[in-house]
Amino acid sequence: MTDFRRRVEATIPALRRYARALTRDADIADDLVQDTLVRALRSEHLFHEGEIRSWLYTILTNLNRNRLRSLARRPVLSPIDDNDAPDMPGPDAGGRDIERALATLVEDQRSALMLVVLEGLSYREVAEIQGVPIGTVMSRLARARAQIKSFLDGERPALRRVK
């Protein structure tokens, strides 16, 4: 096994964790990671020395964006579960609140937050992965944190005025 393949294999757990945080669905996340690995192994010749983890996160992020674009063209059907009550008591209630708060974030904000908080990447690495300036990453993180805080504090989202 080549050094490149060993380094790719070592990042699989982190890729799976990030994909699950992005998609909130284990099956879709596993498919996304598999597609990422296939593309990376086919494109080994395009990788030049550097941080392989950032390169793989970039591939995964782009594949997820493509997936979301194709989903946006289809109508969304979501079943209503009996467990969707917002004020369920118990030890898992806090986790459900955070999960709901994360679900309210736009994709770019959630992705930036997951890369920084869950994966421990620097702002610069996240900027490279998302293909935006570092200031944009900082702005996305600030907005994501503020929105999660307001959600957890029970505040209603402000209505935007449209002219």
- What's the pLDDT score for residue 157? 58
Distance separating alpha carbons of residues 59 and 98, to the nearest angstrom: 27
Residue 6, token pair as written in the block: 């060993």
Q: What is the pLDDT of residue 29?
A: 93
76 pLDDT higher than 70 = no
pLDDT of residue 21: 87
Per-residue pLDDT, 102: 84
Residue 124 clears pLDDT 70, i.e. is over it:
yes
pLDDT at 84 over 60: no
Residue with more model confidence, 157 or 74: 74
Per-residue pLDDT, 160: 57
Question: pLDDT band at 16, cuts 50/70/90?
Answer: very high
Sign (positive or negative) of CA dihedral 130, 46, 43, 49: negative
Contact 71, 32 (CB under 8 A): no
**Percent with pLDDT over 90 in the chain:** 36
| Per-residue model confidence as pLDDT tens digits over 88-109 | 544 445 556 778 888 888 888 9
Name the average pLDDT for the chain.
82
Predicted TM-score (pTM) of the model is: 0.63
Domains and CATH numbers, the chain: 1-75 (1.10.1740.10), 90-157 (1.10.10.10)
Q: Per-residue pLDDT tens for 21-67?
A: 888 889 999 999 999 999 999 988 888 777 889 899 999 999 999 98
Strands (E), 42-138: none
Structure tokens at 154: 């029970």
